[in-house]
Amino acid sequence: MKRFDAHCHLQDKRLTQRLSQVIQNWSRSGGGFLVSCGTQESDWEDLMAIAGKTDTVLPCFGIHPWYVGTLSPTWQENLGRYLGRIPSGVGEIGLDFTRTAPDRQLQEAIFVSQLAMAQALRLPVSIHIRKAWDSFIRILKHMGPLAGGGLIHSFSGSCDMVPLFERYNLHISFSGAVTNPHNKKVGKAVKAVSPGRLLIETDSPDLLPRLPVPCKDKINTPANLLVIADAVASRLKKPTSTLVQQTFDNGTRLFNRLTTPV
Ligand SMILES: [Zn+2]
């Protein structure tokens, strides 16, 4: 059965040495699409090379909030050029107000300018928000609903915010956190999402879910998406196959400009 991993980082050095194996395992167990997000200018070319080789990988190019300190003077032109070279989305972009993250004003400025680019080009966006919900909502209200849609990846917000984000044309994506049975907050959020806006992701190589057989090297791969699908399905009291189909349909609709039938 085809699956849709809505957010991962295949160009990460922890995955690149064994990428052909990772993609083979994915295809062998049913295939589908993997949305791989860039994080800084230095990984865009590697991502381009990976996405150019297979229709399975859908690329997004962007500056992650952790890396706003690494920008070259021509980063905006560079981003525009990558977005024009291949069908792609904008991401991973966002706001991270946890303690060790870079300057908040700089993060906001870089986030807003990338969102504006996505709006102008009507491209889907992959968004990272940590402890920055008020600022994000202020920016969304100023920007208006996203023209090309988007998703909030590894959603950690409260269930009350979900209807607002849906009105701004956002999907909500859940990662390995749903596999922790003690995480009640994420369970409530899963139930608050409209069926047509629900997505699942691995965020590979990070955010390893709780696996039935622990993984020695702690490196997450897209093959673990099924464990996340199982956890979301059980919280929604649905069969896993229904959830997998639903999130595949939602993902391919959101990223339809990037997909060619597989
Ligand atoms: Zn990520």
Q: Are 258 and 126 in contact (CB under 8 A)?
A: no
Distance 143 CA to ligand 1 centre (A): 23
Structural domain contains residue 262: no
Pick 50 or 257 by higher pLDDT.
50
Structural domain contains residue 208: yes
Distance 36 CA to ligand 1 centre (A): 9
Q: Are 199 and 172 in contact (CB under 8 A)?
A: yes
pLDDT of 216 > 80? The answer is: no
pLDDT digits 0-9 by tens, 144-184: 999 999 999 999 999 999 999 999 999 999 999 999 999 99
Question: How far, in Å, CA of 48 to CA of 77, rounded?
Answer: 16
Structural domain contains residue 259: no
pLDDT of 262 > 70? The answer is: no
Structural domain contains residue 109: yes
Distance 187 CA to ligand 1 centre (A): 21
Distance 39 CA to ligand 1 centre (A): 8
Q: Are 1 and 244 in contact (CB under 8 A)?
A: yes
Structural domain contains residue 35: yes
Distance 211 CA to ligand 1 centre (A): 20
pLDDT digits 0-9 by tens, 230-250: 999 999 999 999 999 999 999
- pLDDT for the residue 29: 83
Q: What is the mean pLDDT of the chain?
A: 95
pLDDT of 213 > 80? The answer is: no
Distance 91 CA to ligand 1 centre (A): 9
Structural domain contains residue 65: yes
Which CATH number goes with the domain that contains 109? 3.20.20.140
Pick 28 or 37 by higher pLDDT.
37
Distance 37 CA to ligand 1 centre (A): 7
Predicted confidence band of residue 218 (pLDDT cuts 50, 70, 90): confident
pLDDT digits 0-9 by tens, 55-106: 999 999 999 999 999 999 999 999 999 999 999 999 999 999 998 999 999 9
Distance 150 CA to ligand 1 centre (A): 14
Structural domain contains residue 261: no
Distance 163 CA to ligand 1 centre (A): 23
pLDDT of 261 > 70? The answer is: no
Distance 92 CA to ligand 1 centre (A): 6
Distance 95 CA to ligand 1 centre (A): 12
Distance 5 CA to ligand 1 centre (A): 12
**Which two tokens mark 134?**
């008020």
3-state SS, residue 191: helix
Average pLDDT over residues 124-137: 98
Neighbours of 100 (CB within 10 A): 6
Could you list the residue range(s) of the whole structural domain that residue 53 is in? 3-254
CA-wise closest residue to 25 among 226, 184, 182:
226
- pLDDT for the residue 212: 77
CA-wise closest residue to 6 among 43, 28, 37, 51:
37
- pLDDT for the residue 207: 85
Pick 138 or 259 by higher pLDDT.
138
Average pLDDT over residues 22-33: 92
Distance 222 CA to ligand 1 centre (A): 13
Predicted confidence band of residue 217 (pLDDT cuts 50, 70, 90): confident
pLDDT of 260 > 80? The answer is: no
Number of domains in the chain: 1
Distance 9 CA to ligand 1 centre (A): 6
Question: How far, in Å, CA of 58 to CA of 158, rounded?
Answer: 29
Could you tell me what percent of the chain has a pLDDT over 70? 99
First to last CA, the chain: 12
Structural domain contains residue 226: yes
Distance 111 CA to ligand 1 centre (A): 15
